[in-house]
Amino acid sequence: MSETPRLDIVEHVDTPHGLLRLERYLSNGRTHHALWINDERMMADEGFDSELALAHIADALWRVPRQVEAPTSLDLGATRPKGRSVLVGGLGVGYTARAALELPEIERVVVLELQPRVVDWARGVFAEANAGVVDDPRLEIVIQDLAEYVKSPPDGDRFDLCLLDVDNSPERFLVASNESLYQADGLQQLVACLAPGGVAVFWSLAPVDVLLRRIATLDAPVSLYGSYTYDLKVGSSPRYFGYLGRSL
């Protein structure tokens, strides 16, 4: 990622997981904000196409026939039943949560966010960018470690879509505890969080081969898995999505 001129640190918070900060910077003559944890950039209010794509790719995969091989194409126009629920790992600026809410027939979106201050910033400095997503009545925010949540979802919650954007890759974690999400036990717990026919998609800056090898060995009702490469504008590195789908 190219360097951008930083104007200042708007706020920083010491957390059990490291130094969380909100920065203001200049890009193409405009002022933007970005979230950082320690030395890792989490997200910014520009360049968010792949965060939106995360929701749309999951939605398209949810409708393909159950199969182990990756689909050759994604049909974005198929019909969908009513009343679906979505689990989003990580609030960030709020773009993925907003994209999930804008999918057809979504009744409920539950966002797992580890940092309470991130929720405040989403409601404040990022509210215009995310169109006030935090105050949407269909949105529930749970302040909890996602890795802990999937071990025992409250009331046996099951989700049609799980959108996971909590790390830079399955091998580059923003928070150390997230490593368990990509191990066999964590993946099996994630499958158990899915409703029959549900789909989980992982956002990544790097290829997800390691993740796919682990999914292939799971003793879990997985009927669909693979990866999808999302090409950004010329001159930018692509983004990668690893996915799995629970059997019907």
Residues catalogued as catalytic: 165
Amino acid letter for position 10? V
How far apart (Å, rounded) are the C-alpha atoms in residues 239 and 89? 17
Query: DSSP code of 208?
Result: -
Residues 6+ apart with CB under 8 A from 214: 182, 183, 184, 187
Tokens (6 digits) for 108: 């409920």
Residues 6+ apart with CB under 8 A from 78: 63
Instruction: Give, to the nearest 10 degrees, the angle between helix 209-216 and helix 184-193.
Output: 70
How far apart (Å, rounded) are the C-alpha atoms in residues 200 and 54? 10
How far apart (Å, rounded) are the C-alpha atoms in residues 167 and 146? 11
Amino acid letter for position 91? L
Tokens (6 digits) for 135: 């105050």
Q: Which burial class, exposed, middle or buried, applies to 63 when counting CB atoms under 10 A from its CB (0-12, 13-18, 19+)?
A: middle
